[in-house]
């Protein structure tokens, strides 16, 4: 099921006698929505939703049920997935069209990204099944060194914004080892190996990332080995470029 994050907005309320409150949207499909909250909620709880799709004049009022809840202790927020329990055919069509448009935008991004020059349109469509779009706010952590979190395992591609990489667990300026910008990738090792993160990553400003998540990659190796090989080639090329840059720094002439 295709899902996308772009210009949509979500409000929710847990009780009918309460006003709607704005929440952070994560991703959307015609079966449900994932949102981020400051306070915890209970699984199987019913919730009212108000969803506005980009330039839509009128927001859709929907009812859903919380299917899962996951705590992010690093950023002190909660993620929850809500399955729609009331959805008219017209609403479903609106969401489907919106998601398809967002997916096309993502495919255009893939096709214009040099590391994906060996990927066919069919490869890109398959990638849409295994990617997750992550949105970080300024100074929000993506992951912390030595942590093992399945949600943050995988290859990340910066779509917009800037992220700092630190060699320690704290975001101290003196420990910053790199800054990644749009079009660059990181996190290759956790895509391939069962290992904790070797660095800490924090958003410098509001940023959007495309994640080829580890679980999706494992499924791709079984269902589409040829695409998995192309992803492996992408990782190898990225690591080779990184090694080339590191070697250049180590052996560049020192002025005296």
* pLDDT tens digit sequence for 185-244: 898 888 888 778 889 999 999 998 988 888 788 888 888 899 899 888 888 887 777 777
CATH classification of the domain holding 27:
2.40.10.220
* pLDDT tens digit sequence for 83-128: 999 889 999 998 888 878 777 777 787 777 777 777 887 887 778 7
Is this model's pTM higher than 0.75 or not?
A: no
Q: Which of 97, 127, 150 is the last residue of a domain?
A: 97
Domain containing 138: what range?
112-243
Mean pLDDT of the chain: 82
What is the tally of structural domains in the chain?
Answer: 2
Q: Is residue 103 one of the residues assigned to a domain? A: no
CATH classification of the domain holding 122:
2.60.120.10
119 with 239, same domain: the answer is: yes
237 with 132, same domain: the answer is: yes
50 with 160, same domain: the answer is: no
223 with 118, same domain: the answer is: yes
DSSP the chain: ---B-SSEEEEEESSTTS--EEEEEEEE-SSEEEEEESS---TT-EEEEEEEETT-SSPEEEEEEEEEEEEETTTTEEEEEEEEEE--HHHHHHHHHHHHHHHHHHHHHHHTSGGGTT--HHHHHHHTTTEEEEEE-TT-EEE-TT---GGG-EEEEEEES-EEEESSSS--GGGEEEEE-TT-EE-HHHHHS----SSEEEESSSEEEEEEEHHHHHHHHHH-HHHHHHHHHHHHHHHHHHHHHHHHHHHSPPP-
Q: Is residue 217 one of the residues assigned to a domain? A: yes
Q: Is residue 128 one of the residues assigned to a domain? A: yes
Q: Is residue 34 one of the residues assigned to a domain? A: yes
238 with 156, same domain: the answer is: yes
52 with 120, same domain: the answer is: no
234 with 159, same domain: the answer is: yes
């Amino acid at each position: 099921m295709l899902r996308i994050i772009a210009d949509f907005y979500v409000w929710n309320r847990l009780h009918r006698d309460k006003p709607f409150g704005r929440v952070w949207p994560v991703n959307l499909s015609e079966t449900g929505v994932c949102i981020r909250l400051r306070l915890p909620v209970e699984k199987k709880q019913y919730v009212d939703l108000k969803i506005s799709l980009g330039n839509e004049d009128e927001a859709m009022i929907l009812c859903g049920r919380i299917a899962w809840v996951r705590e992010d202790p690093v950023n002190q927020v909660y993620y929850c997935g809500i399955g729609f329990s009331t959805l008219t055919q017209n609403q479903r069509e609106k969401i489907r069209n919106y998601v398809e448009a967002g997916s096309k935008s993502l495919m255009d991004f893939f096709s214009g990204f040099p590391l994906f020059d060996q990927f066919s349109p069919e490869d890109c469509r398959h990638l849409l099944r295994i990617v997750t779009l992550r949105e970080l706010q300024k100074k929000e952590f993506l992951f912390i060194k030595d942590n093992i979190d399945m949600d943050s395992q995988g290859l990340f591609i910066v779509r917009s914004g800037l992220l700092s990489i630190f060699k320690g667990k704290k975001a101290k300026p003196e420990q910053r080892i790199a800054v990644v910008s749009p079009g660059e990738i990181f996190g290759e090792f956790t895509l391939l190996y069962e290992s904790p993160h070797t660095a800490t990553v924090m958003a410098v400003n509001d940023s959007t990332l495309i994640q080829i998540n580890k679980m999706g990659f494992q499924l791709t190796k079984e269902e589409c080995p040829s695409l998995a090989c192309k992803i492996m080639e992408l990782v190898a090329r990225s690591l080779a470029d990184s090694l080339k840059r590191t070697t250049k720094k180590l052996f560049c002439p020192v002025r005296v």
